[in-house]
């Protein structure tokens, strides 16, 4: 509920998306640089959607030792990686190019018929990435979902249970393409820091609803806003 004490949550508001992109890119680059200095490797977990494309374009030119950076997804639509609906397709088109073309990428889509049948194998591929993840970038839908953790999706209560081990889970979206793969809450929280990127008046209104009292399963992003394990910054621009 409003006013509840949280662990290092910051609301960062910017006059426009250009200023937001510059500030968030600098934060992510700094987090990856710190990981590289500390352990020689770094990890970046990103979401899809329209909001982060400019950010991905900016990050693609960052002067990092990308050969020692691992990139994966918070979630994926169960479509071929060449589909315009694919988060992997988006990341390859906007992030994994220029200097960042040398990064190591671990996708979520497999040849399995459903996300549920592939979940264990996909998590086995993601689990060896440097953890805690150095930076995890999330978005938020107008219904309050984040990653592919949708209100009303079968299995949402278990996916939002922080006592469950980190894993991938199969989810069902309310709109096509319906089948999705997502990190569960425990996997999302296996990060050093989290950024929540929201742009526009509609997303601001959704954020305000999420930042109020109510069931977590009704607006799953509340699980991130209320947790006290990982520093979370909310980045918003009109």
What is the distance between the alpha carbons of residues 43 and 74, in angstroms, rounded to a whole number?
12
Residue 76 lies in a domain: yes
pLDDT tens for each residue of 13-28: 999 999 999 999 999 9
Torsion angles phi and psi, residue 60, rounded to 5: -60, -20
What does the pLDDT look like over 90-123, one tens digit per residue?
Answer: 999 999 999 999 999 999 999 999 999 999 999 9
pLDDT of residue 9: 66
For the chain, which residues score pLDDT lower than 70?
Answer: 1-9
CB 182 within 8 A of CB 74: yes
Q: How far apart are CA 19 and CA 130, in angstroms?
A: 30
Q: In which domain, by residue range, is 210 found?
A: 9-154+180-237
CATH code for the domain of 192: 3.40.50.1360
pTM: 0.95
Alpha-carbon span 172 to 20, nearest angstrom: 31
Predicted pLDDT at 36:
98
* CA-wise closest residue to 109 among 86, 131, 132: 86
Does the residue 168 lie in any domain?
A: no
CA distance 110 to 102: 22
Retrieve residue 213's tokens: 């009292």
DSSP, res 195: E
If one counts the domains in the chain, the total is 1
Flag whether 167 is in a domain.
no
Q: Which tokens go with 71?
A: 């990139």
Task: Determine, yes or no, domain membership for 189.
Answer: yes
Task: Classify residue 82: in a domain, yes or no.
Answer: yes
Whether residue 39 lies inside any domain: the answer is yes
Q: Note the pLDDT tens digit of each residue in 147-164.
A: 999 999 999 999 999 999
- Residue 45 in domain: yes
First and final C-alpha spacing in the chain: 24
Q: Is 62 inside a domain boundary?
A: yes
């Amino acid at each position: 509920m409003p006013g509840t004490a949280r662990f290092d949550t910051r609301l960062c508001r910017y006059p426009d998306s250009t200023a937001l992109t510059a500030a968030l890119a600098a934060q992510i680059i700094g987090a990856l640089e710190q990981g590289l200095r500390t352990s020689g490797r770094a990890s970046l977990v990103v979401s899809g959607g329209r909001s982060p494309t400019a950010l991905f374009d900016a990050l693609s030119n960052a002067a990092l030792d990308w050969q020692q950076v691992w990139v994966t997804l918070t979630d994926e639509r169960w479509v071929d990686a060449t589909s315009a609906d694919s988060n992997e397709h988006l990341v390859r088109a906007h992030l994994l190019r220029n200097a960042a073309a040398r990064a190591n990428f671990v996708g979520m889509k497999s040849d399995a018929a459903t996300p549920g049948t592939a979940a264990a194998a996909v998590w086995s591929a993601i689990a060896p990435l440097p953890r805690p993840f150095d930076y995890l970038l999330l978005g938020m839908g107008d219904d309050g979902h984040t990653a592919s953790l949708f209100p009303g999706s079968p299995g949402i209560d278990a996916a939002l249970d922080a006592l469950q081990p980190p894993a991938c889970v199969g989810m069902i979206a309310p709109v096509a393409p319906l089948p999705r793969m997502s990190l569960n809450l425990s996997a999302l929280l296996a990060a050093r820091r989290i950024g929540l990127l929201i742009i526009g008046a509609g997303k601001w209104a959704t954020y305000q609803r999420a930042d109020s009292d109510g069931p977590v399963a009704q607006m799953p992003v509340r699980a991130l806003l209320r947790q006290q394990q990982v520093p979370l910054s909310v980045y918003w621009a009109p």
